[in-house]
């Protein structure tokens, strides 16, 4: 009889064989039937290989578990897209990646894996008298029995002796895919099925921070589970960070071997410096590994410690902070009011940036103000802070210094937590990380009255005096017998509010203010007893 008319027999010749053995058997069958034309010969064609193997992948069909994800259901696909639109995305453009992924799906979510380790499916199957499983009538545990390992626990209504025996039961052999378990993290963290009161008060959660590369896996799978189980979103906001890139602008990963061990840089620059570098990265943007930024962060932390020592050396206490025992009326100096006006603006803008999840922008604003405070304001008011112009003038600057330090420690706490905690312990009880985010209630009136440009203009004039001394190659403490400051009338008027502090900081005896168009400039600087360095 022609072998082509016996398909069952032919199938038996190849069933259960490896690809290589099956190929050989098929050739023999074709030769025996006379259907083989010519001699077999090797060919080259592209096939997929296992990532770390040297043999082609084989497609093997088997029973698997799936969750409907919209790949085969237009109505469910639209529901999941709408859930994504209920979430606030940071940055907003990342939502398109989520929607593009859903719209491109053409199959359901395969959640089962054939591995030794993992969370097992809590399912058993009855075995008929021939030992074949009845997949249509699975045996399920009661909810109060969970969690269950079917390979160790006995199916309800059976005994251990009936395991894998005809007429008995068998355990489902598969375990859950990683994303199928991690997709339940919001439910697990909020006490789902364990603490219903906690779950009711905390789910949906507020924020999911994660990398942008797993929007299609972790984020999407979490939305699928929340929609399936509770018809809701799992959280209200999601913040998507970028990758860390190596010096060649390639993504750092263990598989590529281009990662940097964090312990080395932590020991070299300190935790605050490394955190500063990380916090400088904007959401959604890839960031290059840059030790230069860590050096800047270390310098910032050290400068904060030193500036704080100067402020606290004046004898200020918690009671010196405006709103905590000191009234606004004590601040009588225009330069002090200008500082507080700038501080209020920074608090407002940094708060807004944080509310919009733009923490890198908040850091930039806070840091810029800090360097203005240390490089300009502190240098300008040192003489007055030491009491050279009387008690009232000293009290004014002390209140401004204490209020600014208190506020800056709170602003910087999320970015340089250790340095801020250290300074806080020098003059305050408790922890800065338990203190509230700063508000301007204690000096709101002064902030409105003060002109924020006064400090900027006086600082520019001080920079002009410093530059002249540097160009003359003399020490900064060299006395200035006379100099001319030229600029628009409005800026000169602002300069007069801090003129005495400018003279003291620049060691200048006489400063002539002259109206002129254009930028503020310092000229005709006459130095006394110039000494070359």
Tens place of pLDDT per residue across the chain (533 aa): 454 557 888 888 888 888 788 888 898 888 888 888 888 888 888 878 877 777 777 777 889 999 999 999 999 999 999 999 999 999 999 999 999 999 999 999 999 999 989 999 999 999 999 999 999 999 999 988 989 999 999 999 999 999 999 999 999 999 999 999 999 999 999 999 889 999 999 999 999 999 999 999 999 999 999 999 999 999 999 999 999 998 888 888 877 888 888 899 999 999 999 999 999 999 999 998 989 999 999 999 999 999 999 999 999 999 999 988 888 999 999 999 999 999 999 999 999 999 999 999 999 999 999 999 999 999 999 999 999 999 999 999 999 999 999 999 999 999 999 999 999 999 999 999 999 999 998 888 888 889 999 999 999 999 999 999 999 999 998 999 999 999 999 999 999 999 999 999 999 999 999 999 999 999 999 998 654 44
Query: pTM of the entire structure?
Result: 0.83
Closest CA to 226 of 205, 198, 240: 205
Domain with CATH 1.10.730.10 in the chain: 291-450
Distance between CA atoms of residues 264 and 270, nearest Å:
10
Query: Rounded to 5 degrees, what are φ and ψ at 447?
Result: -60, -35
| Amino acid 1: pLDDT | 43
∠454-456-462 over CA atoms, to 5°? Answer: 100
How distant, in Å, are the alpha carbons of 246, 253, 255, 256, 290 from that of 259?
A: 8, 6, 9, 8, 13
Integer Cα distance of 141 and 150 in angstroms: 9
- Domain 291-450, CATH 1.20.140.10 — does that match? no
Q: Within a 10 A sphere around the Cβ of 401, how many other Cβ atoms?
A: 26
On whether the CB atoms of residues 513 and 496 are closer than 8 A, the answer is yes
């Amino acid at each position: 009889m022609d072998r082509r008319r016996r398909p069952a027999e032919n199938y038996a010749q190849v069933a259960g064989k490896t690809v290589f053995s099956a190929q050989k058997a098929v050739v023999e069958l074709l030769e025996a039937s006379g259907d083989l034309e010519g001699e077999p010969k090797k060919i080259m064609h592209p096939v997929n290989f296992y990532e770390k193997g040297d043999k082609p992948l084989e497609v093997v069909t088997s029973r698997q578990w799936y969750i409907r994800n919209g790949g085969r259901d237009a109505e469910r696909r639209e529901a999941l897209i709408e859930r994504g639109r209920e979430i606030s995305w940071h940055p907003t453009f990342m939502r398109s990646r989520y929607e593009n992924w859903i719209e491109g799906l053409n199959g359901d979510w395969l959640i089962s894996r054939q591995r030794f380790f993992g969370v097992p499916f809590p399912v058993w199957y009855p075995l008929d008298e021939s030992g074949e499983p009845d997949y249509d009538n699975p045996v399920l545990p009661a909810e109060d029995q969970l969690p269950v390992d079917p390979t160790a626990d006995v199916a309800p209504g059976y005994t251990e002796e009936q395991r894998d025996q005809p007429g008995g039961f068998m355990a489902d052999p598969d375990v859950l895919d990683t994303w199928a378990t991690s997709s339940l993290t919001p439910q697990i963290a909020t006490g789902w099925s364990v603490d219903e009161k906690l779950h009711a008060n905390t789910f949906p959660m507020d924020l999911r921070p994660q990398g942008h590369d797993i929007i299609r896996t972790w984020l999407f799978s979490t939305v699928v589970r929340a929609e399936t189980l509770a018809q809701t979103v799992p959280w209200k906001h999601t913040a998507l960070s970028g990758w860390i890139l190596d010096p060649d602008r390639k993504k750092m990963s263990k598989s590529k071997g281009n990662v940097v061990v964090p312990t080395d840089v932590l020991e070299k620059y300190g935790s605050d410096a490394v955190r500063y570098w990380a916090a400088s990265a904007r959401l959604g943007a890839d960031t290059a590994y840059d030790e230069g930024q860590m050096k800047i962060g270390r310098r910032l932390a050290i400068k904060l410690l030193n500036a704080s020592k100067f402020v606290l050396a004046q004898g200020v206490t918690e009671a010196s902070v405006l709103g905590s025992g000191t009234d606004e009326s004590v601040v009588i100096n225009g330069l002090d009011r200008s500082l507080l006006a700038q501080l209020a603006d920074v608090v407002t803008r940094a708060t807004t940036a944080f509310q919009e999840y733009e923490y890198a922008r908040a850091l930039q604003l806070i840091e810029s103000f800090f360097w203005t405070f240390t490089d300009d304001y502190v240098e300008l008011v040192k003489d007055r802070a030491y009491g050279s112009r009387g008690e009232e003038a000293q009290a004014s600057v002390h209140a401004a210094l204490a209020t600014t330090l208190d506020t800056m420690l709170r602003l910087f706490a999320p970015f340089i937590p250790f340095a801020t905690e250290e300074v806080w312990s020098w003059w305050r009880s408790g922890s800065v990380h338990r203190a509230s985010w700063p508000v301007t209630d204690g000096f709101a009136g002064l902030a409105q009255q003060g002109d924020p440009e006064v400090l900027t203009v006086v600082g520019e004039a001080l920079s002009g005096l410093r530059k002249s001394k540097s160009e003359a190659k003399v020490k900064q403490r060299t006395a200035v017998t006379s100099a001319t400051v030229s600029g628009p009338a409005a800026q000169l008027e602002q300069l007069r509010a801090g003129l005495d502090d400018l003279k003291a900081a620049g060691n200048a005896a006489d400063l002539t203010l002259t109206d002129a168009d254009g930028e503020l400039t310092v000229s005709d600087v006459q130095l006394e007893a110039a000494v070359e360095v």
